[in-house]
Structure 1
Amino acid sequence: MTLRIRRRAGEVSGAWPDEMPPLLRRVYAARGIADPALAQPRLSQLLLPDTLAGLDAAVDLLADAIARGTRILVVGDFDADGATACAVAVRGLRMLGAHGVLHAVPNRQVHGYGLSPALVDELSARLPEAPGAPPLLVTVDHGIACHAGVAAAKARGWRVLVTDHHLPGPALPPADAIVNPNLAGDAFPSKCLAGVGVIFYVLLALRARLRREGAFADASAPDLSSLLDLVAVGTVADLVPLDANNRALVAAGLRRLRAGRGCAGLQALVDVAGRDAACLTAADVAFAVAPRLNAAGRLEDMSLGIECLLSDDPATARPLAERLHAINAERRGVQQAMLADAEAAFAALDADAADAGDAAVCLFHPDWHAGVVGLVASKMKERLHRPVVAFAPSEPGGTSLRGSARSIPGLHIRDVLAAVDSAQPGLVDRFGGHAMAAGLSLPRAHLPAFERAFAEAVRRMLDPALLAAEIVSDGALSPHEFDRRHADALRDGGPWGQGFAEPLFDDVFEVADWRVVGERHLRLSLRIGGVPAPLNAIHFGGWTGERPAPRCHLCFRLAADDYRGPQAVQLIVEHLAAA
């Protein structure tokens, strides 16, 4: 597939600190930031919770449960956002005086997604008998689409608080209170909170209420900032856009982790992932910590991940983190086999065929694992630059399928699924998600009809011009910018991530030397005018079986290379083409 390289444009303005390198100012300007306060926002700039719809009713429920000593049951989700949200809720409620806080999470293979009637039945059987008011069930990172599960809990006399960030459907579940910044009419300025961010805001509002009511004898209150390491990991892992508010949350959480003040479970996960906590970045969270946490929910049971995050004892957390590390290694093997199947289906698809083919792709294999189809969809979307839905049996040999959809910029994938559901009611059992990622389930017999309906909806809703893949670059580096000072400034200028892209540069280099490392990766020695010494570069997965051209156009990131010394840098190559 041919990639077009487009350079960002942006004019530097505003009063920037003298110590900030002009390169970093240019990068910020290209992202529309002219105010230094918005470049690296602090906690003092966080949006206030006041405008979140449903917050008063949610705080009423929680404050009443704490005052009565009512059992509170937190139900999480089986991804990293859901696991961290569950841990934040349990830890935060206990800090604010709640007793008997319990937690649970659906098992992907047993219960499917979210709060279901079957899960409610199971939770009811597990709850200890106790006098007093019925329990309060709190969903985190899900619930907005769980109508049947919420109704089942209400039928048992439970009170239900839904905290979620997923887009709502035309009707809301029958909960006692709902907090979701994406509800119609909600005035909260940021619609980008992850599920963990939503429950963190609920806890902030609850603490404010309890403080006003004199719940804390010395007029102080628990420091909820101790939960920000978990908030940061869940926010980065869920790939929500890093607007100024989310960047403030993530930066504060990263500072805790770098200072060694993260919870024992996260510190253990950072360690087993082989990352240096002292200079941890959002990219380390996204590509090392989050996958190990997500792996439990994909292949086994996210209860293991939540147990790790709730651990306060390093000696307890370490073996849990090692188990998650082992599950992630197993997940990589499963994913690679599934990707090989998907690649085989498109082995004859060259760039011209891709350009001429359908605007959407559906994939299914009867032997695939439902917990890994999202990763397959993501990888194939990147390869084909098409919206992709990957399906697997909900359970081995079953007649129901679970699918994960991934989209390209400019196409809201949940809206596509909503259009399919509206055009052919009953074709899809259930669906939900965001602009770039969504999930769904349907009977296996409906797959051919869904494939046709999905392709038709994409054709109607997608501008064909968006099918031309491109890489967006921050331009070239000056010769003096290939150094450790600028590499560190770029690393620390984030957090970078979804909606606030990590700096990427492009230029033409002479290839002085090259070799294959680890069978799939390409190690390069590069020369460019004005830089006296060769530059080291690594292109992960870049070995195609053919030697690189003598002159190559590269898209790359500038990174520190501690392995070669305290002043060494290397280029992390994202794209390579003959110049």
Structure 2
Amino acid sequence: MIHRKTRWALAEWKESEEGAAKQLCERLSLPPLVARLLVQRGYRDEESARRFLQADAADLHDPYLLSGMEAAVHRIRKAAERGEKIRIYGDYDADGVSSTSLLVHVFRKLGLQFDYYIPHRALEGYGLNNNAIDLAASEGVQLIVTVDTGISAYEQVEYAKTLGIDIVVTDHHEPPEKLPDACAVVNPKQEHCAYPFKGLAGVGVAFKLATALLEQPPLELTDIVCLGTIADLMPLTDENRILVRCGLEKLRKDAGCGFRALAEAAGIELPSIVSTGVAFGMAPRINAAGRLDHARRAVELLTTDDYDDAMLAAIHLDTLNKERQRIVDTIVKEAEEQWLSKRLAAEEAGEDPPAVIVLGGEDWNVGVIGIVASKLLERHYKPVIIFGIDKETGMCKGSARSIDGFDLHAALTECEELLDHYGGHQAAAGMSLHRDNLPMLERRMSELAMNWLKEEDWIPKTLVDIACGLEDATLETISQLALLEPFGVANPSPRLLFQHVQLADKRAIGKEAKHLKLALGSGRKLLDGIGFGMGEMAAVMPQGCRIDVIGELSINEWNNQRKAQLQLHDLHYEPAPLTAFPTREQFGQVYQMLRRLGEAPERGLAARLSEHIGLTVDAVQLMLDVFEELKFIGLSNGMYITAAAPEKRELASSERYRSAKEKHDRLHALA
């Protein structure tokens, strides 16, 4: 038996939606599976579905619908007329780097007198700070334009005024109750802002400012917008979908020298890049600059026109990313050791381990603790808070990640008397406090988790889009699923459920047989499945059995052949109850067949023997499992080998035999 690793949550599908899906099939010439997915994601009529599938730059919203845009453009143009020095003030993450880089390109094009500034993560922290404003004043800056930051900088904006510096704020984070009294504040999330799309990244807001300044959308810069939007986990709907799609097309066909150098350093094939290549290939290297060095290294890469300079910068970022990975691995190992010690201590005391994982280390780099928290959450599926502790002051900077159902921000609010600062949302948060308060924070957060979460909340959940059949897994349908791209937040790659499909073949593949290769179906209609890290499951499932699988469809190209493939996320196999339990004579008959064979490939053996003896594949597989347990046969390198002189043992001495017999007898008695 193979149990599900997660709770499978199949999205509700109403019979009333069949009509809408059928209409989309007919009017847009779509396969049924694609049409059903569109309806399920809210695109029920032809107009909304067509807009989702075909929207382009002409469908971008007017930038002047953003509150504050007119004032922002007026102040920047005024600075241009007066020859004032402007400073772009960004953030050190990939969105901030992208926002800064985009405005560098735009201000160059406009011929403005400007430079840029990004605070150092470890030395200055997030956002505008007075020391940076002092530096700007000393260097003759008269206007600061913030990107991806500034919405909470009320006091800093007031301080800048005393030094004669005006500030234009462009941001996308949640606004506080008291907004900065700046020359202009551009943020679609302001309550009074009627902009029709609230999900722009910081770089998206910067792009709207650029559009207004240039009086047309700078589509040649959408590769930068694509990077920041994907890296900042913004919803890939509405305008973001258009901008990311345009950006991916730019990367495939006409990438700038910075992106070409980054792709070469990262081993990314630009002509075929998709959103995951940006998310897992490019974004980590851009982020590595701000985590371990200074984010201006990444801005230099994205703004240079010299390929040699770009290549040097890309190699530097790649090296930083490798170092970041090494540091993360080290901290994860140390954190796991700490967590094991806590669990053992709780066990010795006869208590449950903490419901929230709270760990810290004096030499843990605060630039990567969020990644560490994510890795521990994935392994243990508990809310996690990881702290870097200052040895001298005892102050701790923490980064938290949560599971569904546990609101980190609400929990931290309940513990705010223990904290110096905190902020975030349901799934992720940051905080600072003194190390003396760590034990109490762990205790309070764990109590809240136990009170707020139900038993099922502690089991990870897999959201499944649709249950479908193998007949849906055609090359044509999979090709048309690409119409739903780019995939990402709010528009994930479809997860499909195939129920009770026949297992035609299975084997463990790869180094140390770590991965699982399946053939699903019967006859000539087979679907390949690949499960990374699932290799041990090959020995559990008999060929010919029925299984349930969840995965994503893709096209595998090999030796000029294209085949449908299902990348497995999870599977479930439970042996069917035996309607007729094998008799001792049948056990003996199969054993004699095995002795005559001497050795035989595991793959397909149960199915072949079942044809000879007239029992089901599951019944014959039970016999093989019992014989293996009793050491009548052995399994080595995919071959069953019959023992030359096995020790004589009763069938009933096999736990597998007894368990199956008891289950059969119990079901038979109930019938």
Contact 1:479 1:531 in 2 (8 A): no
| Greater Rg by CA | 2
Measure the CA separation in 1 of the matches of 2:523 and 2:266: 34
2:185 to 171, 178, 181: 178
Q: Secondary structure at the match of 1:568?
A: strand
Percent identity, aligned pairs only, is 32
CA, structure 1 residues 5+226, in 2 after alignment: closer, same or farther (shift >3 Å)? Answer: same
Contact 1:524 1:536 in 2 (8 A): no
Measure the CA separation in 1 of the matches of 2:442 and 2:409: 15
The question of 1:391 aligning with 2:384 is answered no
Measure the CA separation in 1 of the matches of 2:392 and 2:534: 37
Contact 2:519 2:529 in 1 (8 A): no
CA, structure 1 residues 391+307, in 2 after alignment: closer, same or farther (shift >3 Å)? Answer: same
Report which structure shows greater RCO (CA 8 Å, sep ≥6): 1
1:53-74 superposed Cα distances (whole Å, 9 cap, x missing partner) = 2223222221211222211111
The amino acid of 1:118's aligned partner reads N
Measure the CA separation in 2 of the matches of 1:439 and 1:165: 18
Contact 2:152 2:180 in 1 (8 A): yes
2:124 to 111, 115, 119: 111
CA, structure 1 residues 364+536, in 2 after alignment: closer, same or farther (shift >3 Å)? Answer: farther
The question of 1:26 aligning with 2:36 is answered yes
The question of 1:78 aligning with 2:92 is answered yes
* Partner in structure 2 of residue 306 of structure 1: 299
Q: Secondary structure at the match of 2:122?
A: helix
CA, structure 1 residues 479+536, in 2 after alignment: closer, same or farther (shift >3 Å)? Answer: closer
- TM-score, with structure 1 as normaliser: 0.85
Contact 1:143 1:164 in 2 (8 A): yes
The question of 1:565 aligning with 2:560 is answered yes
The Cα RMSD (Å) is 3.1
1:527 to 488, 503, 519: 519
1:145-195 superposed Cα distances (whole Å, 9 cap, x missing partner) = 344544443332211122111113333334332222222333223221111
1:55-74 superposed matches below 5 A: 55-74=69-88
The amino acid of 2:470's aligned partner reads P
1:336-485 superposed matches below 5 A: 336-347=329-340, 360-393=356-389, 399-410=394-405, 412-418=407-413, 420-421=415-416, 424=417, 427-455=418-446, 466-485=457-476
Q: Secondary structure at the match of 2:562?
A: coil
Q: Secondary structure at the match of 1:171?
A: coil
User: How far 1:19 moved relative to its partner?
Assistant: 4.2
* Partner in structure 1 of residue 647 of structure 2: none
* Partner in structure 2 of residue 216 of structure 1: none
Contact 2:507 2:535 in 1 (8 A): no
1:254 to 215, 236, 248: 248
* Partner in structure 1 of residue 320 of structure 2: 327
1:407-462 superposed Cα distances (whole Å, 9 cap, x missing partner) = 334555445445544xx2xx433333444333233333333344445456666776
Measure the CA separation in 2 of the matches of 1:74 and 1:146: 15
CA, structure 1 residues 537+340, in 2 after alignment: closer, same or farther (shift >3 Å)? Answer: farther
User: How far 1:290 moved relative to its partner?
Assistant: 0.9
The question of 1:226 aligning with 2:220 is answered yes
Contact 2:370 2:400 in 1 (8 A): yes
Measure the CA separation in 2 of the matches of 1:483 and 1:172: 53
Question: Structure 2: which 5+ runs fail to align?
Answer: 575-671
* Partner in structure 2 of residue 43 of structure 1: 57
Contact 2:516 2:533 in 1 (8 A): no
User: How far 1:293 moved relative to its partner?
Assistant: 1.1
Measure the CA separation in 2 of the matches of 1:468 and 1:119: 46
* Partner in structure 1 of residue 151 of structure 2: 144
User: How far 1:574 moved relative to its partner?
Assistant: 2.4
The amino acid of 1:528's aligned partner reads L
The question of 1:15 aligning with 2:11 is answered no
Measure the CA separation in 2 of the matches of 1:577 and 1:528: 14
The amino acid of 1:408's aligned partner reads I
User: How far 1:535 moved relative to its partner?
Assistant: 4.9
2:164 to 157, 161, 164: 157
Measure the CA separation in 2 of the matches of 1:63 and 1:567: 55
Measure the CA separation in 2 of the matches of 1:8 and 1:531: 31
Contact 2:154 2:180 in 1 (8 A): yes
The question of 1:236 aligning with 2:230 is answered yes
- TM-score, with structure 2 as normaliser: 0.74
The question of 1:99 aligning with 2:112 is answered yes
1:88 to 91, 94, 102: 102
The amino acid of 1:69's aligned partner reads G
The amino acid of 1:185's aligned partner reads H
